[in-house]
Amino acid sequence: MAAVAQEKDTILFPLKIRIGADVFGPGYYLADKNTFAVEGFLSADRNSTISYALDAGYNKFSYSQYNYEYNSSGLFMRLGLDFNIISPSTSKGRYFAGAGLKYGISLYTHETPLFNDENYWGSSTGSIEKSTKLAHFIEASPGIRTELFSNFSIGWSIRLKLLISAGTGKDLKPVYIPGYGNGTKSFSPGINYYLIWSIPYKEKQIIK
């Protein structure tokens, strides 16, 4: 009798490995050909609330305006945890509402092929040769994911990023850091929209 009661108070929660591909970056590229972004993530549930998460991607950025041209490209990676605030009995491994906390690094190359400046004495042009830098940042990423079909989900994340180091001096900050955004600002927001494939790897008995 006691065993039956205990069985009613518990659920089998499926722990999953998830593989996600961002569709916002490629979609944004259709509107703005200067920013090319591909990225995805791999996560694994530690328990019903916490997942280990690894994001990785590639960005290529080019920008031109009346007084300068700029190019940047590189790989980035974010590593951290996702926290689901929905109770296990409601989420059942299919829904996520919560936030990620991650540490990010970006290995990028940037150059300024041409810039010019003018003053009382006339104009002057210059260029800054290509160099490779390593940037560091931290990120909080609130978001929502929901399962549409069996083991297939969609979801979005807003990315709120704080720059720790751009890997450059204060005079030649990067206009764009792959995986971060505007390197002249200490805060950079972003957004991702993911298509996600889930693979259940274990079932865990959880008390309701």
Partner 1 sequence: MNFNISLYFLSLYFILSVFSIVSCTPESCREETEILAGATFYKTGTGKISAPDTLTFLGIGNEDSLLYNKALKISVIYIPLDMNKDTCRFALTINKESDTLTFIYSTYPHLISKECGYAFFHYLYECRFTKNILDTIIIRNPVVTNKNEENIRIFF
Query: Is the separation of the CB atoms in 110 and 130 below 8 Å?
Result: yes
Q: Is 193 an interacting residue with respect to partner 1 (CB under 8 A)?
A: yes
Q: How many Cβ atoms are within 10 Å of 27's Cβ, its own excluded?
A: 11
Contact with partner 1 (CB under 8 A) among 50, 134, 162, 172: 172
Classify residue 92 as exposed, middle or buried by CB count within 10 Å of its CB (0-12, 13-18, 19+).
middle
Instruction: Please name the helix (run of DSSP H) or strand (run of DSSP E) that holds residue 127, with its range, or none.
Output: strand 122-149
In sequence order, which residues have a C-beta less than 8 Å from that of residue 42 and are 6 or more positions away? 17, 18, 19, 20, 53, 54
SS3 74: strand
Mark 26-65 with x for binding to partner 1 (rule: CB under 8 A) and - for no binding: -------------------------------------x-x
CB 71 within 8 A of CB 24: no
83 binds partner 1, rule: CB under 8 A: no
Determine if 119 is a binding residue for partner 1 (CB under 8 A): yes
Nearest residue (CB) to partner 1, 77 versus 191: 191
Which of these segments, 38-46, 98-106, 150-158, 196-204, binds partner 1 (CB under 8 A)? Answer: 150-158
Examine residue 121 and tell whether it contacts partner 1 (CB under 8 A): yes
Does position 146 interact with partner 1 (CB under 8 A)? The reply is yes
- Cα–Cα dist 84/199, whole Å: 18
- 126 is a contact residue toward partner 1 (CB under 8 A): yes
Residues forming contacts to partner 1 in the complex (CB under 8 A) are: 24, 63, 65, 67-68, 90, 94-95, 97, 112, 115, 117, 119-122, 124, 126, 128, 144, 146-148, 154-156, 158, 171-173, 175-176, 182, 184, 189, 191, 193
